[in-house]
Amino acid sequence: MAEKMTVEKAAEILGQGFHCSQCVMWHTAEALGMDKKQALKMTGGLGGGCFHGDVCGAVSAGVASLGLKYGYCEPNSAEQNAILISKVNELEARFIEKNGSIVCKELLGGLSFAVPEEAAKIMENGLAGVIKNCPKYCADVCEILDDMIDELK
């Protein structure tokens, strides 16, 4: 099992140039039976709300993690689909309870990576600057996943 994801550990991972989505998958991939390198590549494009300020990349990677655990790959899997939907809804609700939103742009104070001037503003103080809350968001998602996915306990 991966060690607990702390805000400090998340900041360290983000400081290496990884995105929030990759930080979450860094934590969950091995426990869910996924190759860590593939998991990091797969989730790289989810950071910054897919770089448009949409759903937070950490939350999106949390959803992907839930898919690895509770998803399905056979047709007509209505029962498993219902379980997956329930788990995704729970993750999102718990994240919103802690942070007020799952929307990256809202979490970053109205700024979006899709607008060059806003992206520059987000990054102007470095990864630990304006994005100071992102390590917390990553740690929050990992904590929720640790609680939701038995194999991560």
How far apart, in whole angstroms, are the C-alpha atoms of residue 14 and residue 80?
34
Q: What is the pLDDT of residues 2-52, one digit of tens each?
A: 689 999 999 999 989 999 999 999 999 988 999 999 999 999 999 999 999
Q: What is the pLDDT of residue 95?
A: 98
Is 117 within the bounds of a domain? yes
How far apart, in whole angstroms, are the C-alpha atoms of residue 36 and residue 22?
10
Axis crossing angle, helix 57-70 with helix 134-148, rounded to the nearest 10: 20
Q: How far apart are the first and last CA of the chain?
A: 7
User: Domain range for residue 127?
Assistant: 7-152
Q: How far is CA 59 from CA 51, 78, 89, 143, in A?
A: 14, 24, 11, 12
Determine which of 47-51, 87-91, 95-99, 118-122 has the lowest per-residue pLDDT on average: 118-122
> 112 and 118 in contact (C-beta within 8 Å)?
yes
Q: What is the pLDDT of residues 126-141, one digit of tens each?
A: 544 446 789 999 999 9
Is 2 within the bounds of a domain? no
Is 1 within the bounds of a domain? no
Q: What is the pLDDT of residues 62-72, one digit of tens each?
A: 999 999 999 99
Q: What is the pLDDT of residue 141?
A: 98
Is 143 within the bounds of a domain? yes
Q: How far is CA 137 from CA 43, 72, 76, 96, 132, in A?
A: 16, 27, 35, 10, 10
Strand partners, 103: 55
Give the number of domains in the chain.
1
How far apart, in whole angstroms, are the C-alpha atoms of residue 62 and residue 113?
20
Is 120 within the bounds of a domain? yes
Q: What is the pLDDT of residue 44?
A: 97
Q: What is the pLDDT of residue 16?
A: 93
